[in-house]
Amino acid sequence: MVKVVKIIVDSKCTGCETCVNNCPAGVYEIKGGKSVPVRVEECILCRTCESQCPEGAIQVIEVEIEPAEVKPQKAEAPKRKIKKKTSPKPGKSKKKSSH
Domain carrying residue 56: 2-68
Question: How many domains is the chain partitioned into structurally?
Answer: 1
User: Has residue 52 been placed in a domain?
Assistant: yes
pTM above 0.85, yes or no: no
DSSP bridge partners of 60: 7
pLDDT tens digits along 49-62: 999 999 999 999 99
User: Has residue 51 been placed in a domain?
Assistant: yes
Q: Are strands 2-9 and 28-31 parallel, antiparallel or unpaired?
A: unpaired
Sort 84 into a burial class: Cβ within 10 Å, 0-12 / 13-18 / 19+.
exposed
What is d(CA 34, CA 37) in angstroms, rounded to the nearest whole number?
Answer: 10
Q: What is the mean pLDDT of the chain?
A: 83
User: Has residue 81 been placed in a domain?
Assistant: no
Query: Which CATH number goes with the domain that contains 26?
Result: 3.30.70.20
pLDDT higher than 90, residue 98 = no
